[in-house]
Structure 1
Amino acid sequence: MGPAIGQVLPLALGIAISPVPIIAAVLMLLSPKARMTSVGFLVGWVLGIVVATTVFVLLSQVLPDETESGSRPILGTIQIVLGAGLLALALRQWQGRPRPGDEPRLPKWMHTVDRISFGGALGLGALLAAVNPKNLLLAASAGATIGTAGLATGEVAVTVTVFTLLAACTVLIPVIGYLVAFARLAVPMDALRVWLSRENAVIMTVLLLVLGIVVIGKGIGSL
């Protein structure tokens, strides 16, 4: 189980370091309905990660076992394709970065998060966690790694739990911290939102580039 957890930790960090959901969580925490919407968003974010990862764990368990030489060509090919997808997303992020002097453009739905309901926040969190292309590729890679590691059912559950907690920590920590000490964290939270909005493209480009290379490396190693 230890080696499997070690292999998925970088992928979990890739989901955790996602500026858009962090910005969304901060905006909800600064809204009049902070307690309701932020908790809904957190629950949806965690559920989305769990569901996406578990689906790919189950799908990967039907892949052929290792060959006599110890290689897994189908798994390796899948990982290379996933890594290539991450590199393509990195290129897209870099090309879409704001030019010097331009204001960063955020999704239009972010302007409505202060009026969103608990159910809407839950659904938004689930969609950003499980349907976002970057997170979906990372969850697929993590699920394939866990599902082909030969773990018992209990070990799979523990590994998915560890992966989810780390992947969700950048939303989990601000929400819990703000609900406990909201008066002291309002200004730092807003400063974090401004910085992430400005640096979103650069952060995501570097992150996707590194993770794409890591996943491709895993794929080559499995061939």
Structure 2
Amino acid sequence: MNSVIGDILPLALGIAVSPIPIIAAILMLLSPMARGTSVGFLIGWVLGIVVAVVLFTLLSGIIPEQDPDASNPVSGVIKLLLGAGLLFLAARQWRTRPKPGEEAALPKWMAAIDTMTAGRGFVLGFLLSAVNPKNLLMAIGAGVTIGTGGLSAGESTVAIVVFTLIAACSVAVPVIAYLVASARMAAPLESLRGWLMHNNATVMAVLLLVIGVVVIGKGIGSF
């Protein structure tokens, strides 16, 4: 189980440091309906991660079981494809980074965050974690790794919980911190939002490049 958890940690971190959901959470925390919207967003974010990882863990069960010490070409091909997809997204992110002096372009839906309800926050959190292509690729990679790792049901559950806790922490920490000490969190959140907005594309490009290379390496090692 330790080797499986070690393999999924980079993927979990990839989801955790994705700037767009963090920016969305911060904007919600700075909005008039901060508490309800941010809590709904956090619940949707966590649920989306769990659903995606569990789904692909179960789907990976159709891959024929093999000797753990033997090659696993099916899993290897899937990881190679996932790694290639992450490298493609890394290149696209790099090309969209703002030039010096330019303002970073952010999704238009962020302008509506101030008027979002808790229900809409929940839906947005779920979509960003379970449907967003970058996060979905990493969830697929984690699900395949867990599902083909020869783990028992209990061990697979532990691996999914560890993955979810790490992947969700970047949204959970500011939301929980705000709920505990809202008055003191406003200035640090605004500063973090500004930095993430400016460096969003660069952070994601470097992150996707590193994780893509790691996933391709794991895929090659499966042959």
**TM-score scaled by length of structure 2:** 0.98
In structure 2, the CA distance between the partners of 1:157 and 1:69, relative to structure 1 (3 Å rule), is: closer
Counterpart mapping for 1:1-80 below 5 A: 1-66=1-66, 70-80=70-80
Distance in 1, matches of 2:69 and 2:165, equals 35
Report the equivalent of 1:185. 185
Residue 157 (1) aligns with residue 132 (2): no
Q: Which amino acid aligns with 1:22?
A: I
User: Which residue in 2 is equivalent to 1:218?
Assistant: 218
Which residue is 2:119 aligned to?
Answer: 119
Give the Å deviation of 1:67.
6.2
Equivalents in 2 of 1:68, 1:192: separation in Å? 44
C-alpha distance in 1 between matches for 2:166 and 2:206: 19
Alignment of 1:65-104 (within 5 A): 65-66=65-66, 70-104=70-104
For residues 120 and 57 of structure 1, what CA distance do their matches in structure 2 show? 28
Q: 1:175 to 1:69 in 2, by over 3 A?
A: closer
Following the alignment from structure 1 to structure 2, what is the Cα–Cα distance between the partners of residues 209 and 149?
Answer: 24
Give structure 1 regions of 4+ aligned residues with deviation exceeding 4 angstroms: none
Q: 2: distance between equivalents of 1:92 and 1:75?
A: 26
Q: 1:68, 1:173 → 2: CA distance? A: 37
2:189 match: secondary structure: helix
Q: Partner residue of 2:106?
A: 106
Q: Distance in 1 between matches of 2:173 and 2:160?
A: 19
Q: Give the deviation of 1:69 after TM superposition.
A: 7.0
Deviates more, 1:5-14 or 1:65-74: 65-74
Structure 1 counterpart of 2:198, one-letter code: R
The root-mean-square deviation of aligned C-alpha atoms, in Å, is 1.1
Deviation at 1:66, TM superposition (A): 2.4
Percent identity for Structure 1 against Structure 2: 62
Distance 1:88 1:6 in 2: 24
In structure 1, the gaps of 5 or more residues are none
**Separation in 2, partners of 1:150, 1:11:** 19
Partner residue, 1:173: 173
Point out where structure 2 has 5 or more consecutive residues left out of the alignment.
none
TM-superposed CA distance for 1:20, in Å, is 0.3
Report the 3-state secondary structure (helix = DSSP H, G, I; strand = E; otherwise coil) of the residue aligned with 1:61: helix
Matched residue type, 2:84:
A
**Using a 3 Å threshold, how does the CA distance of structure 1 residues 147 and 198 change in structure 2: closer, same or farther?**
same
Shift of 1:158: 1.1
Call closer, same or farther: CA 1:184–1:112 in 2, change over 3 Å. Answer: same
Contact 2:68-2:150 within 8 A present in 1 as well: no
- More off after superposition, 14-23 vs 66-75: 66-75
Aligned letter for 1:126? F
Structure 1 residue aligned with 2:131: 131
Q: Which amino acid aligns with 1:215?
A: V
Structure 1 residues 12 and 69, CA gap change in structure 2 (3 angstroms): closer
**Are 1:207 and 2:214 an aligned pair?**
no
Query: Cα–Cα, structure 1 residues 69 and 3, in superposed 2: closer, same or farther, change >3 Å?
Result: closer
Over 3 Å counting, the alpha-carbon distance change for 1:51 and 1:162 in structure 2 is: same
